Amino acid sequence: MKQIRIGAFTFLALTLAFGCQKSTTSQMPPLYPVHGIVTKEGKPIPEAFVQFVPESGAQDLTINGRTNPEGKYELTTLSVRNNEKKPGAPEGTYTVNIMMPLDAQQRGGEQYQLPDKYQVKPGANEFPLEIYPKNK
């Protein structure tokens, strides 16, 4: 009889524990891997900030990444609505902005908007991003 009560109590406790957890359903659209390398004059740019700005929709999403020491980046998407962050980017057409890192004297930080549009499609997406010097 004691084992039945312990079993029933365990079942009840687990049922309550799982029933009280908040929902884990994501409100994000489907995301697809996006990666590449950022270069300027053929040289990789470490610690640059890469931002993909959607042409339409996804106004509550921030899609960006940062380059590693070899200039490679991977995008993540942040939902401003619920503060959910996941790797990848939604399908769509994007304008790309790149902010250069600051140097030791806190100089630099130039910003570039790339002239081409980039199309994220279902599946893996690789976009090498080349920064061209600004016209003076």
Instruction: Say what the pTM is.
Output: 0.76
Each residue's pLDDT tens digit, 21-44: 444 566 789 999 999 999 999 999
Phi, psi of 100 (to 5 degrees): -70, 150
Residue given tokens 């490679």 in the structure block: 72
- Residue 20 has a pLDDT of 44
Superfamily of domain 31-131: Immunoglobulins (2.60.40.10)
First to last CA, the chain: 87
Q: Per-residue confidence at 56, pLDDT binned at 50, 70, 90?
A: confident
